[in-house]
Homo-oligomer: A and B are copies of this chain.
Amino acid sequence: MTVTIYDVAREANVSMATVSRVVNNNPNVKPQTRKRVYEAIEKLGYRPNAVARGLASKKTTTVGVVIPDISNAIFAEVARGIEDIANMYHYNIILCNADKRKEKEIRVINTLLEKQVDGLLFMGGAVSEDHIRAFKTATVPIVLCATTDEREMYPSVDIDHKAAARDAVRELLKQGHRRIAMISGPLEDPTVGYARFQGYKTALEEAGLKVEEELVRIGNYRYESGQETARYFLELDRRPTAIFAANDEMAIGAIHAIQDAGLRVPEDISVIGLDNTRMASMVRPQLTTVAQPMYDIGAVAMRLLTKLMNKETVQNERVILQHELITRQSVAHLA
């Protein structure tokens, strides 16, 4: 039924060892026999069995990527970066979606490890004790990607979320705003949610302002929660003149809520986001935001992982990539 290396060997009148050498580009094969083997392969339609190869060589040339939420544009872009570099180094990647559920993340890490991946890339949010426990059972390198663990135990590639948020709020301050609201992500997540909130707080404090309770609300990073939160801000007795949303999607929700209430962005209220997803330029007004180099995060993380898999020594295991303010149309100087 299935044609094996052994069938090819017989067809070419060589031993299976020789076929193996040809398939693996081992130079120690006479060109003539190499040619014979190739012809046999062609004739029989032989396809190497990666499972058998993996068992024999203890390498699968595959890296596992756990992606928290496949329908999130950010992760999709990070994944592209991962992929390009993986292809470059001849690794296959297997992407596993975890649906934003921690329990599923752990499960997925384990199946990936069972499948004997040569390395693991973990993208996404909080790295909990349970995650660490799962990571610890691994005998292959692991790199965190677009996240970090607080204990700084694992190599990671990410931006400085606090600084990025601070720069967003600074821009608002620079435009004369003083009453600045924030649509935050969940604060339980230290590496993203809480860090971005800290950036907001820091920027305000640097400007001699302090965080007002009624100006901070927690969203879930989705459009609808941006809308709802903005509506809440609009109802305030003294409403904010500017809103900083912890990500672009909520920022866009906020813009629409403001417009739906008959107000204008940025004339009446300024809005700034964070991420710079493609959607940022697919709204009117186009969204001013702080860009996160998503593709690069993926690419650098994958490159780091290849080094680790290759047992090269790396100097810096925790890399921070630069963010950047992208000025578009949703922020105006306070009249």
Contact = CB atoms under 8 A, between A and B. Distances in A.
A2 B49 CA distance: 23
Contact of A51 (B115, B256, B283): B115
Contact of A139 (B1, B92, B256): B1
Contact of A79 (B83, B97, B116): B97
A306 interface: no
Contacts of A51: 51, 54-55, 60, 115-116
9 contacts: A45-B137, A52-B55, A62-B115, A71-B80, A83-B99, A92-B96, A252-B282, A256-B282, A284-B284
Interface stretch (A6-14, A106-114, A172-180, A206-214): A106-114
A290 to B, nearest CB: 20
Interface in A236-290: 252-253, 256, 259-260, 278-279, 282-284
A228 interface: no
Contacts of A282: 223, 252-253, 256, 279
Contacts of A54: 51
Contacts of A60: 51
A334 interface: no
A319 interface: no
A96 B62 CA distance: 12
Contacts of A80: 70-71, 97, 99
B252 A114 contact: no
Nearest to A282: B223
Contacts of A97: 79-80, 83, 95
A282 to B, nearest CB: 5
Contacts of A29: none
The count of identical subunits is 2
Contacts of A113: 47
B70 A76 contact: yes
Interface string A85-118: 0000000111111010000000000110111100
A218 interface: no
A11 to B, nearest CB: 17
Nearest to A227: B282
Contacts of A70: 70, 76, 79-80, 95
Nearest to A61: B111
B284 A259 contact: yes
Contacts of A253: 282
Interface in A37-91: 45, 47-52, 54-55, 60, 62, 70-71, 73, 76-77, 79-80, 83
Contacts of A49: 55, 114, 116
